[in-house]
Chains A and B, each alone.
Chain A
Amino acid sequence: MNKKIASLSIACALFNYSHQALALDKPQSMEEMWKIIQMQQVQLDAMKSSLQANEKQAEQPNQQEIKKLTHKTNVLTELMEDMRTALVIPEEKEYKSAYGLGPAASKVYQVDQGLSIGGYGEVNIQSFIGDKGPKDQNNADFERLVVYMGYKFTDNIIFNSEIEFEHASTGNAGSVGVEMAAIDFLWDPMLNARAGMLLMPMGFVNTIHEPPFYFGNNRPEVERAIIPSTWREVGAGIFGQITPEFTYTAYAVTGLDAEDFSSKGIRGGRQKGSKAVNEDMAFVGRIDYAPEEIKGFSVGFSTYLGNSGQGKVGADVFTQLYEAHVQWKYRGWEFRTLGAFGHIGDADVLSANKGETVGSSNYGVYTELAYDVMPHFLPDSGQYFAPFIRYEKLDTVASTANGLPDDLSKEQDIYQIGFNYKPIPQVVIKVDYRNRNAKQGAKADEFNVGFGFIY
């Protein structure tokens, strides 16, 4: 801007000067003309140098200012970067060692996590659209609202809990319960311990049952009726990884209570750590294998063994449940299959006590396949849209003791189709249709819409 003004001034000055010179007296010869030009040149040079000096004067403070500002920015940037990293990791090795020993050092570096809160929830709207029975009413249900609370006493002793509000209100059909509350003692990746209210490490859903991580509004029926998720009992045990490929979990827990077994299976026998009778204990163990060679693939099995009589039914009721599962995630495809088989000892005694056939064995299998199509439509969005199909077969009265009559209504085939849409990884919108068929009697088909979230 300054330069423009200066150039304009020079032009005006030159014009005025030549105009005046011409007006006073015209040059009489080439020599006079040359003198005038030389004079003009001298004056022009003088004006130019004066202008340059002015410009230099004007620029000098700016450059100094810029230098100062650059220096300040560099210092602040360095400080900012140091502070940013110091919030998450210590600067020096010595301090890291100190961090491992106690909370004081961690507070210095502000990485003490202490109390943490998380949770999840899910809401479903269920409409019955076929084979509707008198009890099948369309409904809307805030099925679960769960609060996770954890506290890190030290880096190695950590408390985790899951408190669930089910069906929105205890005034109606709802309940409030502790689903999980355990202290972890972390020693080594190979060997750690856990004690408290434990989730039985069986199947996919019992341990990981947050809505974004399974398909459909309802959990797979096999993981409800045969593996009675959410299945939790009081106990203690160990967990860890034998190698990076093998992980294991083994717990000793309070046994099931066979008094509440029924033709629907063992689900009613969960004691849920609520004044649980502990006359009989049980063992539950699980091993998973995720081979290095096949990324995204894992296979595993689990076992539950223990008496369930609890001194209440006049028999031991040795209860066994075996489960195997395979999962593979590959290039947007997600495949899961699971099979579970259970055996209930003294089922004849239980059936006589109950007045209905309690199956001496039960089983369930399901398989599902999904594919995330979103990268084909909105590759940069980071969103997820996966249509899925699932097939389930289960029977809670697969065999009976001493020729007791079978309950064929408990043998079911379920076909399910739908999709999970996640605008962000923590929020899911679900739509699905379930076609349920029993060997005897009608089972209503459902259309379900819902959403879930975790935080």
Chain B
Amino acid sequence: MYKVVFLLCCLLLTSVCQAKVFYSKAEAMELAFGAGAKVEKLSLFPMEPQSQKIRQLARVNKVPSLFTFYVVQEQGKVLKYAAIESHQVRTKPETLLVVLNVLGELEKVHTLAFHEPAEYQPSERWYAQLYALAIEELSFNRSVQGITGATLSSRAALDSVRLVLAMYQVMIEEK
């Protein structure tokens, strides 16, 4: 009997919602650059030799042929870079906002959308351990510790962050 009562309570309370899309694109830009910032797009088209270098640096199998950084400039100088990176975790996607500072160091990661079960979502404090780490340190064998029960999602997130850093290093820093 108490099971039935319990289930009814559950159904009544489901109107209190918690979305799996946490931020819109407009909000993501605010998170990265603050309110009212004039955000510009910086589109990058890696050629094969650059893709190869990015693949190697990021330790990923696929490099997109079009990649966009969102930037805010002051007197012609970029102050901050942000990228919206989507990837499949297991069978469902996750979208991250990866923010780099003026030196191209990882400053912040926000989860914009997460469609796998909530218990597999890496927490903000897990992402915090990645900040300002060099790209080669972004590995479970170096400075990053895994998450029990969320191996795939933490690995996918780590790949994503490395890809953004590698994209910056090859396509912007080296130019």
Residues of A within 8 A of B7 (CB): 195, 236
Would B10 and A193 count as touching, CB distance under 8 A? yes
Decide if A88 is an interface residue (CB 8 Å cutoff).
yes
Chain A contacts with B in 281-301, Cβ cutoff 8 A: 288, 290, 292, 295-298
Residues of B within 8 A of A111 (CB): 21, 113, 115
**Per-residue contact bits, chain A 330-351, to B (CB 8 Å; 1 contact, 0 not):** 1110000000000000000000
Minimum C-beta distance from B131 to chain A (A): 13
Would A92 and B26 count as touching, CB distance under 8 A? yes
Task: Output the nearest chain A residue to B68 by Cβ-Cβ distance.
Answer: A81
Task: Output the nearest chain A residue to B142 by Cβ-Cβ distance.
Answer: A331
- In the assembled complex, the Cα of A292 lies from the Cα of B125 at a distance in Å of 7
Residues of A within 8 A of B152 (CB): 425-426, 454
Decide if A367 is an interface residue (CB 8 Å cutoff).
no
Chain A contacts with B in 258-299, Cβ cutoff 8 A: 288, 290, 292, 295-298
Residues of B within 8 A of A84 (CB): 86
Would A116 and B91 count as touching, CB distance under 8 A? yes
Decide if B19 is an interface residue (CB 8 Å cutoff).
yes
Minimum C-beta distance from B21 to chain A (A): 6
Residues of A within 8 A of B98 (CB): none
Decide if A409 is an interface residue (CB 8 Å cutoff).
no
Decide if B75 is an interface residue (CB 8 Å cutoff).
no
Contact partner of A332 among B10, B18, B123, B141, CB < 8 A? Answer: B141
Task: Kindly name the residue among B18, B24, B84 whose own CB sees the greatest number of chain A CB atoms within 10 A.
Answer: B24
Task: Output the nearest chain A residue to B27 by Cβ-Cβ distance.
Answer: A93
Residues of B within 8 A of A208 (CB): 149
- In the assembled complex, the Cα of A89 lies from the Cα of B126 at a distance in Å of 23
Do A117 and B19 form a contact, CB below 8 Å, given A295-B145, A296-B145?
no
Residues of A within 8 A of B142 (CB): 331, 375
- In the assembled complex, the Cα of A154 lies from the Cα of B17 at a distance in Å of 9
Decide if A220 is an interface residue (CB 8 Å cutoff).
no
- Of A18-26, A95-103, A126-134, A221-229, the one contacting chain B is A95-103
Task: Kindly name the residue among B118, B142, B148 whose own CB sees the greatest number of chain A CB atoms within 10 A.
Answer: B148
- Of A156-164, A166-174, A312-320, the one contacting chain B is A156-164
Interface size on B, residues (CB 8 A): 61
**Per-residue contact bits, chain B 117-150, to A (CB 8 Å; 1 contact, 0 not):** 1110001111001000000000111111111110
Would B84 and A85 count as touching, CB distance under 8 A? yes
Would B148 and A77 count as touching, CB distance under 8 A? no
Decide if B172 is an interface residue (CB 8 Å cutoff).
no
Would A158 and B60 count as touching, CB distance under 8 A? no
Would B23 and A160 count as touching, CB distance under 8 A? no
- In the assembled complex, the Cα of A288 lies from the Cα of B147 at a distance in Å of 13
Do A91 and B19 form a contact, CB below 8 Å, given A118-B91, A295-B145, A296-B146?
no
- Interface residues in chain A, defined as those with a beta carbon under 8 Å from any beta carbon in chain B: 74, 77-78, 80-81, 84-93, 95-96, 99-101, 106, 111, 113, 116-118, 148, 152, 154-158, 160, 184-189, 192-193, 195, 207-208, 212-213, 235-236, 239, 244, 247, 252, 288, 290, 292, 295-298, 327, 329-332, 372, 375, 379-382, 425-426, 454-455
- Interface residues in chain B, defined as those with a beta carbon under 8 Å from any beta carbon in chain A: 2-3, 6-7, 10-11, 13-14, 16-21, 23-28, 41, 43, 56, 59-61, 66, 68, 84, 86, 90-93, 95, 112-113, 115, 117-119, 123-126, 129, 139-149, 151-152, 155, 159
Q: Which 9 A-B pairs have the closest CB atoms?
A: A296-B145, A332-B141, A295-B145, A100-B19, A96-B24, A329-B146, A375-B141, A193-B10, A118-B91
CB pairs A–B below 8 angstroms (29 shown): A77-B43, A84-B86, A88-B112, A89-B28, A90-B24, A96-B23, A99-B21, A111-B115, A113-B115, A154-B14, A155-B17, A185-B14, A189-B18, A189-B118, A195-B10, A244-B125, A295-B144, A296-B148, A297-B145, A329-B140, A329-B145, A331-B145, A332-B141, A372-B141, A375-B141, A375-B142, A379-B59, A454-B90, A454-B152
